[in-house]
Amino acid sequence: MAETSKAGPSMTGQQGTGHSGTGQRGTAFRERVRGWLAEHAPGGDDHVPEASESAPTEQQLAAAKRFQAALFDAGLAGLTWPAEYGGQGLTAAELQIFQEEAAAYDLPTGVFLISMGMCGPTLVDLGTHEQKARYLPPLLRGEEIWCQLFSEPGAGSDVASLQTRAVRDGSGDWVVTGQKVWTSGAQYADFGALLARTNPDEAKHRGLTMFVVDMHAPGVTVRPLRDMTGSAPFNEVYFDDVRIPADAVIGEVDAGWAAAVTMLGHERVSIGGSVRRRYDPMTFDSLRDEARARGVAGDPVVRGELAELYAAERKLALLNARLRQQSDAGLAPGARGSVAKLAGAQVLWQAVRVAGLVVGPRAIAWEPGDPSGDALALAINATPASSIAGGTNQIQRGIIGDRVLGLPKEPQVDRDVPFRELRVGTQAR
């Protein structure tokens, strides 16, 4: 995994440990954040879904953008990002304080998770000065939203097998043709971080390049895809001769794999550490309250499962706090992001088990007027996605085995074969 410069995800909505921010500076910052949130955080009924959760309405999106702009104006956006590009240049300690305070609210920041947890940090690491100056301030103000264009119908876990082509024309511009899939938030994104094949004569990991693509450019078509919760959080995206200027390359031409690994590291920390908000029905707090309300909190099996969930949430919080501290010390997440991502998915599955015990059959069919019935059913149906998005649990285990535990690598017989000769995707015939 790439060990690049420091840039942890500086989003809100991540879990804290409740033990940070000692010292005068921390106390003053906490008071400032607490005061600002008390005045500006929207009420609990205004939930705006995350990019991978479901599609927000236009009003929700507008409200999210207004809130992010206010956060930026208050000097509370991009806490650990460089001040030169609109960030605050603060440390992981302040970020953690912010997240601890924000956890008491249902802030409408989920639509920015990909922009601020993945694309932004990758630009901080690899972008040119011009790219950072152009893209990071509007991203932090919530004016421009980003999506991640990696997966394709024939390239998910093995994303290096992707077939979307970018070919340089006489003017130096690139012309992109191909299809992406499962692109969260593409329907309202302004820019995407696109991974495309620029040299099929190289082996599959070597001929890729990452680009900034304008999602409003001619030739970009976005079609929503519905998941089993009934909503359409992600999309198919088609590129038909889409022109991309030469200065839109992120990192180096044909070095897109390193850029992708950098972004995936940020993605895994960001997903693993994200969103156990107060109003989330799948947290220990919510499920304990639900158990009390339904009169099952005294059941020894429910109590045991709740205690296990509490312990798992605390362990995850401590793991994420450690990752943030490492990030602050200049250590990019690398393969450690896979541990956080896997642990985050496992905690959610544990919560599903508890939810099933607490609400029983009402998890799939509930009486009219039961306020938690549909929210819980939705959360339960959304949980399998957590084991797939951002790399499946099996893939995370493979990475952890190889790069964290030092176990032997999985055999990769196609690693040094020119991509053109591989039988993958539509090349398979």
Ligand X SMILES: Cc1cc2nc3c(=O)[nH]c(=O)nc-3n(C[C@H](O)[C@H](O)[C@H](O)COP(=O)(O)OP(=O)(O)OC[C@H]3O[C@@H](n4cnc5c(N)ncnc54)[C@H](O)[C@@H]3O)c2cc1C
Stretch that binds ligand X, among 24-32, 74-82, 146-154, 248-256 (CB under 6 A): 146-154
What mask, x for binding ligand X by CB under 6 A, covers residues 26 to 65? --------------------------x-------------
One of 398, 401, 418, 425 touching ligand X (CB under 6 A)? 398
253 sits near ligand X (criterion: CB under 6 A)? no
395 sits near ligand X (criterion: CB under 6 A)? yes
CA separation (Å) from 219 to 188, 241, 243?
A: 16, 6, 8
- Residue closer to ligand X (CB basis): 184 or 320: 184
- Residue closer to ligand X (CB basis): 356 or 425: 425
Question: Residue 73 CB: number of other CB atoms within 10 A?
Answer: 10
- Residue closer to ligand X (CB basis): 268 or 288: 268
Contact 207, 279 (CB under 8 A): no
Question: What's the count of helices (H) and strands (E) in the chain, helices before strands?
Answer: 12, 8
Residue in 50, 101, 152, 267 annotated catalytic? 267
CA separation (Å) from 243 to 170, 215, 247, 304?
A: 12, 11, 12, 57
Of residues 206 through 245, those in contact with ligand X by CB under 6 A are: 234
Contact 161, 203 (CB under 8 A): no
One of 388, 404, 422, 424 touching ligand X (CB under 6 A)? 388
381 sits near ligand X (criterion: CB under 6 A)? no
- Residue closer to ligand X (CB basis): 149 or 323: 149
Contact 153, 181 (CB under 8 A): yes
356, burial (CB in 10 Å: exposed 0-12, middle 13-18, buried 19+): middle
425 sits near ligand X (criterion: CB under 6 A)? no
Alpha carbon distance 280, 16 (integer Å)? 15
Tokens of 310: 């509490």
Tokens of 243: 């022109």
Smallest separation (angstroms) from ligand X to the CB of 414: 12
Alpha carbon distance 144, 48 (integer Å)? 17
> Is 410 an active-site residue?
no
Give the max Cα distance, the chain.
73
One of 5, 157, 171, 426 touching ligand X (CB under 6 A)? 157
User: C-alpha dihedral over 212, 139, 12, 105, to 10 degrees?
Assistant: -130
- Residue closer to ligand X (CB basis): 60 or 183: 183
One of 29, 81, 150, 239 touching ligand X (CB under 6 A)? 150
264 sits near ligand X (criterion: CB under 6 A)? no
Of residues 87 through 126, those in contact with ligand X by CB under 6 A are: none
- Residue closer to ligand X (CB basis): 126 or 321: 126
Handedness of CA 152, 154, 158, 163 (dihedral sign): negative
Smallest separation (angstroms) from ligand X to the CB of 312: 22
For the chain, what is the radius of gyration of the CA atoms?
Answer: 21
* Residue 209, strand partner residues: 196
Residues 6+ apart with CB under 8 A from 261: 1, 2
394 sits near ligand X (criterion: CB under 6 A)? yes
Q: Where are the beta strands (DSSP E) in 182-259?
A: 191-197, 208-214, 220-225, 234-244, 249-250
One of 15, 96, 148, 161 touching ligand X (CB under 6 A)? 148
DSSP class of residue 341 equals H
Stretch that binds ligand X, among 36-44, 210-218, 318-326, 383-391 (CB under 6 A): 383-391
Of residues 171 through 200, those in contact with ligand X by CB under 6 A are: 182-184
416, burial (CB in 10 Å: exposed 0-12, middle 13-18, buried 19+): exposed
156 sits near ligand X (criterion: CB under 6 A)? yes
Judged by CB under 6 A, how many residues of this single chain contact ligand X?
Answer: 20
- Residue closer to ligand X (CB basis): 23 or 411: 411
- Residue closer to ligand X (CB basis): 72 or 257: 257
Smallest separation (angstroms) from ligand X to the CB of 295: 35
Smallest separation (angstroms) from ligand X to the CB of 263: 10
Residues with catalytic function: 267
Binding site residues, ligand X, CB under 6 A: 52, 147-151, 156-157, 182-184, 234, 385, 388-389, 391-392, 394-395, 398
